[in-house]
Amino acid sequence: MDIQLKPLSLDPAKLDGLSEQLLRSHYDNNYTGAAKRLNAIRGQLSQLAWDTTPVFTINGLKREELIAANSVYLHELYFENLGGDGVLPSNGLSIALTRDFGSVERWRSEFTALAKAMGGGSGWAILNWSPREGRLVNQWAADHTHLLAGATPILALDMYEHAYHLDFGAKAAAYVDAFMRNINWNTVYPRYGAAVKASALSFGVEPSAVNQATAQLIDVRRAETFADANDMITGARYADPADVSGWVGTLDPERPVVVYCLHGLDIGRSTALSLRARGVSAQFMEGGIEAWRAVQLPLVPKAAA
């Protein structure tokens, strides 16, 4: 089956500092071209006599298939993660970036420096979710084929010259700055949430299944949410999910850990995965404190805790 093109999801006339001509050329020539190439290669592969075809032909076709497929996938991520105002709100992703890079600004500095360092060459700067390390990772990809094994791309920045030359000539750094001003974090955050959800499938525990006698219950609601809250789970203590490295050493290594956030979504899941990557036997509470509350399990006023 041929791969189908995805329509351009943004209005290319409305980007800040990236022209409609550049976006249309990129979509029509490079993205569409990669999809056509992929379909042509797969057409040839489907007819190949595998037993008698020279190995150099097989190597060449399979290599080109990989390049074309990843070019299609990454270009789709690229166009979908443009069209916003570039402002990352305070949410589970900003918490994860702070946890994994020290601050959102430090993440931004690393990501943009990595991209600018690729100017004049070709490749992608990618922010990945790595389930192996339970964290976000900035990745250098020299071409379409260098992807971090097992990781999920969250944000993709095309550093091939065709992505900027029409507007910026050789000024790759100015292109990177323009890209950052146009990131649509409303598409990036759900990608992160879905990747974390898939990684955490085995590590959830229902409120009614938590063993309060043995578990260390850690309240990891984001700081603003916790500041506004009136109560918390009986026996729990608070720890900032943006600072896991700051408190992981205070946990009792002999007792299992259950973290909970407000609704049991990316913050609780991601904190549990971050702890597991640090060697802690951690689970997250399905549904968060709101699910606990719904089944009338014990809560205490925050002041008393």
**Interface ranges with Fe ion (CB under 5 A):** 30, 158, 160, 163
User: What's the closest the beta carbon of residue 118 comes to Fe ion, in angstroms?
Assistant: 13
Q: Which of 131, 296, 292 is nearest to 219 (CA)?
A: 292
Residue type, 148: L
Residue 31 or residue 189: which is nearer to Fe ion going by CB? 31
Residue 19 or residue 30: which is nearer to Fe ion going by CB? 30
Structure tokens at 235: 């026996």
Instruction: Please tell me the number of Cα atoms within 13 Å of 192 on its side-chain side.
Output: 27
User: What's the closest the beta carbon of residue 24 comes to Fe ion, in angstroms?
Assistant: 13
Nearest residue by C-beta to Fe ion? 158
User: What's the closest the beta carbon of residue 86 comes to Fe ion, in angstroms?
Assistant: 20
User: What's the closest the beta carbon of residue 157 comes to Fe ion, in angstroms?
Assistant: 10
Residue 21 or residue 109: which is nearer to Fe ion going by CB? 21
Residue 80 CA to residue 163 CA, distance in Å, equals 15
Helices 92-101, 104-117: inter-axial angle, 10-degree rounding:
70
Q: How far does CA 187 lie from the centroid of its chain?
A: 10
Residue 90 or residue 145: which is nearer to Fe ion going by CB? 145
Residue 30 or residue 281: which is nearer to Fe ion going by CB? 30
> What residues have CB less than 8 Å from 55, skipping those under 6 apart?
none
User: What's the closest the beta carbon of residue 163 comes to Fe ion, in angstroms?
Assistant: 5
